Structure 1
C-alpha cells in the first residue's frame, strides 16, 4: 500500500482517529493517500483542507466534473496512476455520461486536447494546466490572458491554477511514498460542498 509505515484505522487513537472518522467512506474506508499521512496527522489535516477547498467547495464556479478532468489530466502528465484512476472514477460519477468520459480520457492519454469533447474554454484551461505542470517557470502573463480570451474570468482562472497545483502536490505525495490503490474504493469524494468541514466521502 505504501513504502512507509501507516497506522490502520482500527489502531488509530487521539487526533488521528478523529481525522480518520472525518474522512471515511462507506464501511469505514480511508483512502490510501490519507493513510500515508498517518504518522503526521497534522499534514493529513492540511491535505484534506486544501483538497476540499479546491475541488469540493460551493465557492467554486467551474463544474466539479471539469475540475476532476483537470485532476486526471495533471495526474496523467505526472504519470500518477493512483490519482488518474481515483479521479477518473469521480469524473464519471459526476459527469453521468460514460461515453463522453471515456472520450475525454482517450484524449488525455493521447495528449491531444483537440480530441476531447470539451468547449474551447475548457480546453484552454487544460493547456494552461499542462504548461504549469511541465514548465511552471515558463508560464507568463500572456498565458493567463489567453484564458481570459477563451471566456474564463479571473476567479475561474484561479480555480484552474489551484486544482493544477493541488494535483502536482498530491501526485508527488503518492509517487514519492509508493501509495497504491490496493484496498481503496475508487471514485469517492467529500460531496457536501456547502460545508467545508464535512470531509466524509461518499
Structure 2
C-alpha cells in the first residue's frame, strides 16, 4: 500500500486515533493519502488544515468545481493517478453530469482545455499549468494577465494555493508509493462553513 510503515485505524491510539476520528469516512475509512502520515500525526494535522482551507472553505470566491478542476489538472500534469482518480470523482459529484465530466476529462487528456473553459477560466488553467511545470519561469505578467481578465487578487491567491496544495499532495503520494487500495474515491470534507470539520463524506 505504501513504501513506508503505517498505522491503520485499528492500530491507532492516542493523538493519531483522535485525528483519525476527525478525518474518517464511512466505517472509519481513512484515505491512504492521510494514513501515510500516521507515523507523524502532526504532519497529518498540517496536511488536513491546508487541504480544508484551500479547497473546502466557504470564504473562497471561486466556485468549488473550478478549484477541483484545477486540482485534477495539476495532478494530471504530475502523472499522479491517485489524486486524479480521487478528485475527478469528487468533481463528478459536484457536477452530477456525466456528459460534462466526460467532456472535461477528454479535453484535459487531449491538451484541449480551451474547448471546455471560457477565456477567463482557461487563463487560470494556463497559470496552473505553468506554475506546476515551470515554477522558476513565473513572471509578474502571468498574474497581470489574470487581472486583465477581471480576476481579483484574492481569486488569484485561491488559484495559486490550490496549485501549490496539489503539487504538495502529488509529491506526498508519488514519493511514498501511495495507491488507492481500500480507499473510497471522491470523499471530501464538504462542510465549507466549519474549517474544523474534517470528516470525509
TM-score of the pair, normalised by structure 2: 0.98
- Runs (4+) of structure 1 exceeding 3 A deviation are none
Residue of structure 2 in register with 1:89 after alignment: 89
1:112 positional shift: 1.7
* Other-structure match for 1:166: 165
> Does residue 76 in structure 1 map to residue 49 in structure 2?
no
Distance 2:150 2:97 in 1: 24
Match of 2:121 in 1: 122
Match of 2:135 in 1: 136
Cα shift readout 1:75-131 (whole Å, capped 9, x = no counterpart): 000000000000000001011222111111111111222122x22211111000000
Q: CA RMSD in A?
A: 0.7
Give the aligned length.
201
Alignment correspondent of 2:35: 35
Q: Which shifted more, 169-178 or 144-153?
A: 144-153
The CA distance in 2 between the partners of 1:99 and 1:147, in whole Å, is: 29
The normalised TM-score by structure 1 is 0.98
In the alignment, what sits opposite 2:190?
191
In 1: Cα distance, 2:179 partner to 2:28 partner? 18
Q: For 1:29-81, what per-residue CA distance to the aligned partner results, in whole angstroms no more than 9, with x for missing partners?
A: 10000000000000000000000010000110111111110000000000000
Structure 1 CA distance for aligned equivalents of residues 167 and 14 of structure 2: 30
Deviations 1:164-202 (A, max 9, x none): 000000000000000000000000000111110000010
> Could you tell me which residue of structure 1 aligns to residue 144 of structure 2?
145
Cα offset, 1:151, TM superposition: 2.2
Compute the displacement of 1:20 (Å): 0.3
Query: Which structure 2 residue ranges, 5 or more long, are not aligned?
Result: none
**Secondary structure of 2:38's match?**
coil
In structure 2, C-alpha distance between the alignment counterparts of 1:104 and 1:152, rounded to whole Å: 22
- Structure 1 unaligned blocks of 5 or more: none
